[in-house]
Amino acid sequence: MPRRILRRVSWAATALPLVLASAPVSAQTSAPASLPGPSLTRAEGPLSSPAAFLGLNAWVGAVSAATRAQRRGAPLLRAALTGAAAGVVTAAGQRLIGVGPAGMRFAGLQMVALGANVARNAGDGVPALSDLILPLYPLYVRVQPGTARPVRVRVSAMAVRGLVVAATQRQNRLRLDVGESLRSGAPVFRSPLPALAVGSDGPGDCVERRCVVGLHLTGTFIYAGGRDPAFARLRQETLRHEAGHLAQFARDGVLFAVPASDRLLGAGGRAGRWMQGWLVADVALPLLGADLLSDAASSDPDVHSLYEREVRAMMR
Ligand SMILES: [Zn+2]
């Protein structure tokens, strides 16, 4: 019975992002309405340091690898230890995005993905680098050296969803920022406005002197560019912050959503296998589900969700 309940909980967690997929905002950066510089380091408490999230990433790597190993009846300990080490690599990638130079943001994203790949491969009992899923949003590039098709490029359904949401935000007058897109490994759009409008309340939504200046939209992000040079530092922090959310999305995708998509489409007959050749239905995102649950459980705007805490901790 416990296993059946666990399976149901797991499906509930993975289905939650689907239910909430129509929401335009998956993560945001807030900044005081009239002051330069955001309050990005406000999260405090036990889950607010880089070390805490290094531990959490090691735990996620260990548990996910052990679970996969258990499913195929393999010994758990070795998979768990490799998964934990891989989680440390993932955390190091997030730290690189959080505090490293802007030019290393793409490397940080791929390091996050590398850790998730190694953890998944450890669970599957295959060599650490034999199956690599690399995010290049809106695409996933899968590299499997030595196989009949060593490189496969497929479209991420959730990243396309992010692009559609960005394209419908006409009020923000978004333009593709090519430089930031190349630096980030995903389409990045810049608004000329000093604050983003995410509702229908006008040119910029500011609540209690806080404005939305950046949004991650599953595989793409948008930011308020403004024109005031005094806000240059804020813009850089916003880009760094949203790149952190992008890396969280990639971790969830590489570790859980891409293999789940392969299982789902692989069981869908000829049509499913045809779709599997070019599409990743990356909707099973249990870590995003946990983030949304943590957000829903808190009524205090200063007690941030799991993802917010992680990004802010990695920027400390
Ligand atoms: Zn955020």
| Residue 4 Cα to ligand 1 middle (Å) | 34
| Residue 27 Cα to ligand 1 middle (Å) | 5
| Residue 125 Cα to ligand 1 middle (Å) | 35
Q: Which of 310, 192, 301, 152 is nearest to 246 (CA)?
A: 310
| Residue 293 Cα to ligand 1 middle (Å) | 15
DSSP state letter for 170: G
The per-residue pLDDT for 16 is 46
Query: For the chain (length 316 residues), average pLDDT per consecutive 10?
Result: 49 45 46 42 64 96 97 96 98 98 97 98 97 98 96 97 93 95 97 81 59 92 86 89 97 97 95 96 96 84 83 94
| Residue 62 Cα to ligand 1 middle (Å) | 26
| Residue 224 Cα to ligand 1 middle (Å) | 14
The per-residue pLDDT for 233 is 85
| Residue 174 Cα to ligand 1 middle (Å) | 19
| Residue 175 Cα to ligand 1 middle (Å) | 21
The per-residue pLDDT for 3 is 52
State how far the Cα of 223 lies from the Cα of 26, in Å rounded to an integer: 14
Residues with Cβ–ion distance below 5 A, ligand 1: 27, 308
Q: Of all helices (H) and strands (E), which one includes residue 280?
A: strand 279-280
| Residue 245 Cα to ligand 1 middle (Å) | 7
| Residue 142 Cα to ligand 1 middle (Å) | 28
| Residue 130 Cα to ligand 1 middle (Å) | 33
CB atoms within 10 A of CB 62: 24
The per-residue pLDDT for 11 is 47
| Residue 139 Cα to ligand 1 middle (Å) | 23
DSSP state letter for 104: G
The per-residue pLDDT for 241 is 95
The per-residue pLDDT for 244 is 97
Cα–Cα distance list, 62 to 28, 76, 94, 234 (Å): 29, 9, 18, 36
pTM equals 0.87
Helix 105-124 / helix 50-71 crossing angle, nearest 10 deg: 30
The per-residue pLDDT for 31 is 55
State how far the Cα of 212 lies from the Cα of 205, in Å rounded to an integer: 7
Residue type, 98: G
| Residue 122 Cα to ligand 1 middle (Å) | 30
Token pair belonging to 157? 């359904």
**Beta bridge partners of residue 135, listed in sequence order:** 140
- C-alpha 211 chain-centroid distance: 22
| Residue 311 Cα to ligand 1 middle (Å) | 7
pLDDT tens digit string along 63-95? Answer: 999 999 999 999 999 999 999 999 999 999 999
The per-residue pLDDT for 14 is 45
- C-alpha 63 chain-centroid distance: 19
Q: Which of 254, 246, 249, 199 is nearest to 17 (CA)?
A: 249
| Residue 31 Cα to ligand 1 middle (Å) | 11
The per-residue pLDDT for 40 is 41
| Residue 289 Cα to ligand 1 middle (Å) | 15
The per-residue pLDDT for 191 is 94
Cα–Cα distance list, 45 to 35, 217, 302 (Å): 25, 27, 11
Q: Confirm if 171 and 160 have CB atoms less than 8 A apart.
A: no
The SS3 of residue 271 is helix
